[in-house]
Amino acid sequence: MWLYVALVALAWALGWLVRDRRTLPTVTDKHVFITGCDSGFGNLLARRLARRGYRVLAACLTPQGAESLRGDSGGGHLRTTLLDVTRSDSIRRAAEWVRQEVGEKGLFGLVNNAGVANPIGPTEWMDIEDFRRVMAVNAFGAIEVTLQLLPLLKRARGRVVNTSSVLGRVSANGGGYCVSKFCIEAFSDSLR
């Protein structure tokens, strides 16, 4: 029994080491666009990919978030722009900026990370605007950004990563969060 547990733990550790050391042959000309980079997962991912040599195009909601990310990133692999995923004009401006940055190479990756969770609570406590606000960011924003950048992604045979949640498969409470994550799961399935 203990031998089995030790072998499984060893295999897991070796798999982790091998996975973490795998890299693409060249990433210096690979552009990745990430939304929601003011803080959290998007911020961490942008900095990590830039350190690994990717050309990161990071979208932040606020000028303070963009400035903070630029200051923390170091090196020239990270560029920032402002993006409010609830506004079509902002999405169009950001998409045009991405087109200018990537040129003919296309976009290697899109990470739809921008998201909000609140308000969460029993459904009877919510009104329709609570659902609309969350859906506008978590679902419709990600869909519109993807549609704007799809030609660039196809040109580079790129990837789309949509940040979701287990609550996109099993709803645990009321509010727009679970609904929006179910929506983004369905959208991701339709892209495959």
DSSP secondary structure string for all residues of 160-176: EEE---GGGTS--SSBH
What's the confidence (pLDDT) of residue 138? 93
Active site residues: 177
CA distance 32 to 122: 38
Instruction: State the fold for domain 26-191.
Output: Rossmann fold (3.40.50)
Predicted TM-score (pTM) of this structure = 0.83
Phi then psi dihedrals of residue 60, to 5 deg: -120, 150
Strand partners, 177: none
* All residues at 6 or more sequence positions from 170 whose CB lies less than 8 Å from its CB, including other chains: none
Phi then psi dihedrals of residue 62, to 5 deg: -120, 150
Q: Note down pLDDT in tens along the chain; length 192 residues.
A: 888 888 888 888 888 777 666 665 677 789 999 999 999 999 999 999 998 889 999 999 999 999 998 887 666 789 999 999 999 999 999 999 999 999 999 999 999 999 888 888 888 888 999 999 999 999 999 999 999 999 999 999 999 999 887 776 777 777 788 888 988 999 999 988
> What are the sequence ranges of the domains in the chain?
26-191
